[in-house]
Amino acid sequence: MTSTNRRKAFLAAVLTLPLALSACGGGSGFDSGSKPSEGSAALPTPTKNEVSVLIGSSGDAETKAVTDAVKAWSAKSGIPAKVQVAADLPQQAAQGFASGKPADVVYTATDVFASWVKAGNLEPYGDQLENKDDYYPGLQEAFTKDDKLYCAPKDFSTLQLVINDELWKEAGLTDADHPKTWEELETVAKKLTKGKVKGLALGPEVQRLGVFLAQAGGGLEKDGEATANSAENVEALTFVKKAMTDGWMAYSSDLGSGWGGEAFGKQQAAMVIEGNWITGAMQNDFKDVKYTVVELPQGKEKGTLQYTNCWGVTAKGDNIGGAVDLVEYLTTTEQQLAFAKAFGVMPSLQSAKEQWSKDNPTMVPFINGADYAQNLPAEVGAADVIKDMNAQLSQLKSKDPKVLLDGVQANLEPVVADAGK
């Protein structure tokens, strides 16, 4: 499989569907005396009905880890369980919802979460989790609707700056030159831009460019209001446009690569803005390229984006109590660390950060991003707005940033307004 095709396959499981899993250890919930939080309804008691789990997988390692963990829970609980790997998770989940016989537990991505909640497909069990407060606040926010935490975040990724060690050294740069500001980013990127090599590359999409909006103090949405055409966002896109015009920043697609990691691996770019999934691609396809990960430079403030998925429990499943019991088993600190080791994800629990950081010292900048990462809008209809925005961003060099963002604002406002009703 080519690196581009492998990346597409990976993103199908990681961004469009999940981002990964949680883990394999001990701990069960509702049949061991845990109580629902004040003001929430008690969940059904687990039964002996089989619990089915529908996942999207990034590869054999993830499939095996999830399957083994579910088997271990089944052996401990005495409840039969099975794992199905979806070829097209949204489609197969939708078929299950329509038939009235959905899987009990389903990988739930942020881009389908709102529509599944609106349709009544998900059981809001999250507020009853004993470890609820251990989840990063930003991840809880992604799966909260009408002040209810619907599901446990499984794991997550953030975006940071990845640097080619050899090209960095050849440009006469040292660790002391790691950029902390936009001005410093421009300085080092210009030094790294030589011949066909660009100083910095990233994907032609808000899923990457959005880090600059956040760093400028902006973002597409704030406090339930669409803010796409804010002055901060205009400033951010103006900076990016000038960087591209000046020649030290480029889209990976303009370099002939399918994504930032490919451009980086082929050494078409000395730096890229990517998520922690890049480590797998580098290990598989570009083993000889040595690199360093650092936190992104800030504009007015620190800023990055995060991507996450949750363990959705379906409202019409055959064993809701058993499904939640399984989720609690899969989301303990020990379980999440085990999954992190198995297939490279970052745990969604704050209590796992210290150990994960010790296990993955070179990747610490990614998990540090959890403290300031933004979620992209995920209301019903937001995906179409983002798709149209990306089409406009692909032509940013010839666009007026303010005009571009005014168009996004016009499209996003009714989506956000409808979500607040």
Does the structure show a pLDDT above 90 at 7? Answer: no
What is the percent of the chain where pLDDT is above 90? 87
Q: pLDDT tens, 60-72? A: 999 999 999 999 9
> Region 329-340: what's the mean pLDDT?
96
159-305+376-419 maps to CATH 3.40.190.10: yes
What CATH number labels 3-157+307-371? 3.40.190.10
Q: Which residue has the tokens 């016989």?
A: 101
What pLDDT shows up at residue 169? 98
Confidence of residue 35 (pLDDT cuts 50, 70, 90): very low
Evaluate whether 66 touches 83 at the Cβ level (below 8 Å): yes
Locate 46 and state its tokens: 């687990």
For the chain, where do the domains classified as CATH 3.40.190.10 start and end?
3-157+307-371, 159-305+376-419
- Distance CA(25)–CA(35), nearest Å, equals 21
Query: What would you measure as the largest C-alpha separation in the chain, in angstroms?
Result: 65
What pLDDT shows up at residue 377? 97
pTM: 0.89
- Distance CA(409)–CA(122), nearest Å, equals 30
> Region 407-414: what's the mean pLDDT?
98
Confidence of residue 293 (pLDDT cuts 50, 70, 90): very high
Q: pLDDT tens, 14-29? A: 333 333 333 323 233 3
Does the structure show a pLDDT above 50 at 339? Answer: yes
- Which range has the worst mean pLDDT, 12-26, 101-115, 116-130, 173-187? 12-26
Locate 90 and state its tokens: 């949204």
Locate 191 and state its tokens: 């030094």
Question: Whole-angstrom distance between the N-terminal and C-terminal Cα of the chain?
Answer: 46
3-state helix/strand/coil string of 363-401: HHHHHHHHHCEECCCCCCCHHHHHHHHHHHHCCHHHCCH
